[in-house]
Structure formats: structure tokens, C-alpha cells
Amino acid sequence: GDSVTQMEGPVTLSEEAFLTINCTYTATGYPSLFWYVQYPGEGLQLLLKATKADDKGSNKGFEATYRKETTSFHLEKGSVQVSDSAVYFCALERNQGGKLIFGQGTELSVKP
Amino acid sequence: DTGVSQDPRHKITKRGQNVTFRCDPISEHNRLYWYRQTLGQGPEFLTYFQNEAQLEKSRLLSNRFSAERPKGSFSTLEIQRTEQGDSAMYLCASSLALGNSYNEQFFGPGTRLTVL
């Protein structure tokens, strides 16, 4: 069945460091791919998305590119801030408007 | 506040009791989803509705679980004869589905269930 695998956390970085959180997926067809973020004490929020191969999603300085050949959607940010500390979830959706399938989440902690 | 709301935010119950959670979606949204999230894991899909019709149910949704959306607005999720393994965060999300276009799911704050 469909699945999403993320790199395990926690990831601890210093402020202004470069961030990569790896995400790979298994799915039939051409899923849409997402990154959701959960800040401490808050609900899940969509961070960015890509709906077809080679699309790049971006938001708040974060980027991820839909790579069909490697079935990956890695999250990157050039310079992290303390306020980026959160849990990040990679997810896929196969049928537009249908269920999301999430990875296990990666906790990011950014130290000043 | 016009986001997705869930009630209660926390529920503690004893094993064997029944519990019911409520979700109020964003008012114009026609799709409503339920997910379950255990500690250290990502949300797992349980079921979803388009208007009042339940379109898909996960195998995770045992016969002790039932969800309804009787008027196509709010939804309830009931768990009968709760077990300790039911302890989790129950998340609700809603979206506006228009034809085949992508539609973002907006999540509520969740109901945390603890079964003693």
C-alpha cells in the first residue's frame, strides 16, 4: 500500500544552519505531496505542496521538489530560525480531495 | 474564529465506557475527515465524508468506532467499549472539494483521549 517514510528525529540545529529533512514515498500513480507543520501547542498546518513531478513547493523560506525518479520530496531551508522549532510531517494524497497518508514526523529543535 | 473546532479538547475515561467527540468544520467545506494520532507518529486516516455521505473507512476503524455527519455539517465520532489502545489524539479536518481540483485540508486542534 501507499506509505511515506521520513528521516528520524529529533533534529537539533543552531540558528541560521541549513536544514534538510528527507522524505520518500511509495505510491501507485501520481500522488500529490505535502509538508505539514505542527508548532508546539497548535494544530497541523499545511506548509507547502507539490501536485506533479518536478514541481517545487515553497513557503516561509522552506522548499521541497517533487522528484518522481527518486520518489522523494525532501524539505529544505537555507537558514533556520528558533521559531521554526516544530514537528514536520511529510504526506501524500492519491485521489484529489481524498485521505492523506502521513510519515511519522520529524521533530526539529533550533537553538539560538 | 472560523477554523475547524473540536469538542472536547481532552477526555479521560475508564476502559469499557463509550465516548463521543464532535467536530465542526469550516462552514462552507463539504468534506470532513477523521484521523488518529498516537504519540510520536503521524496521523492515520480513519474515515471521511462528502456532505453527509461516508465515502471511505479505514480498516483501522473497527466495529467499535462509528462516525456520522447527519446534516452534512458537524460530525461525531463515537467509540464504544473503549480500550487502552484507543488512547490517542483524534483529529478532524475539513476541505472544500470542487470537481477534480486539489483542496487543502484544514485541521482542528484535536481531542486527546486517555483511556484508564
Alpha-carbon span B51 to B95, nearest angstrom: 11
CB pairs under 8 A between A and B: 57
Contact B26, B106 (CB under 8 A): yes
Residues of chain A with pLDDT under 50: none
Residues A57-84: pLDDT tens digits? 999 999 999 999 999 999 999 999 999 9
DSSP for residue A72: B
Q: Quick count: other Cβ atoms within 10 Å of Cβ A1?
A: 6
* Confidence at residue A106, expressed as pLDDT on a 0 to 100 scale: 97
Cell of B75: 460530525
φ, ψ dihedrals at A96, nearest 5°? -50, 120
A-contacting residues in B 59-88 (Cβ below 8 Å): none
Sign for the pseudo-dihedral over CA of A108, A93, B88, B111? positive
Q: Which residues in chain B have their CB less than 8 angstroms from residue A36's CB?
A: 107
Per the document, the length of chain B is: 116
Residues of chain B with pLDDT under 50: none
Cell of A40: 508546539
* Confidence at residue A94, expressed as pLDDT on a 0 to 100 scale: 82
User: Residue A85: which of A8, A14, A35, A24 has the closest Cα?
Assistant: A14
Work out the minimum CA distance from B83 to partner chain A, whole angstroms: 23
Task: Compute CA B27 distance to the chain's CA centroid, rounded to the nearest angstrom.
Answer: 16
* Confidence at residue A3, expressed as pLDDT on a 0 to 100 scale: 94
